[in-house]
Amino acid sequence: MDRPIPVSEILSRKGSDVLCGAEDLTIVEAARLMVEARVGALLVMDGGDRVVGILTERDVLRFTARHTDRLSATRVGDIMSRDVLVGLPTDTVEAMMSLMTARRIRHLPILVNGRLAGIVSLGDLVKTVVHEANFEVRMLRDYITGSYPG
């Protein structure tokens, strides 16, 4: 990637829809919502617009492996990650990929003035990098073969 790509470009394509829920949802309810929405994370909100946690597929899987008998009684607030890393629309794809890889996370909420603007996944970032690389390859191929407009 020759140019730094801001995350705002991903959000403009992807949109700002984010699956959100409350701390008092059961793990079963949260898992059902995530499956229905075909997403890997549920942002936990305080009832307003403040992010207080995140529940991921990985959280549900780890809890399920240890406490199968407590699934229907355990609440999202009991197992969610409360220390949520967030990003800004001006953060670059490259910086976010580095952060997410180093911290071993796959989902990052994006905030604008403290308010939720969307969420990006590691998959969204990889897809963007691949798209950019494919574009560069096409341009170089066109240049080499003489079909580059210019």
Tell me the whole-structure pTM to 2 decimals.
0.82
pLDDT of residue 10: 93
Q: Are 48 and 22 in contact (CB under 8 A)?
A: no
**Which residues 6+ apart lie within 8 Å of 44 measured at CB?**
20, 21, 22, 23, 51, 52, 53, 54, 55, 76, 77, 80
pLDDT of residue 31: 95
Average pLDDT over residues 87-116: 94
Domain ranges of the chain: 7-145
pLDDT of residue 68: 86
Average pLDDT over residues 90-110: 94
- The token pair at 86 is 């967030």
The whole-chain average pLDDT of the chain stands at 89
Average pLDDT over residues 57-79: 93
- Please tell me the distance from the alpha carbon of residue 87 to that of residue 97, in angstroms, as a whole number: 11
Name the CATH code of domain 7-145 (choices 2.60.40.10, 3.40.50.1010, 3.10.580.10, 3.90.230.10).
3.10.580.10
Q: Are 103 and 126 in contact (CB under 8 A)?
A: no
Q: What is the pLDDT of residues 8-45, one digit of tens each?
A: 999 999 988 999 999 999 999 999 999 999 999 999 99
Alpha-carbon dihedral sign for residues 105, 13, 134, 87? negative
pLDDT of residue 144: 74
pLDDT of residue 139: 66
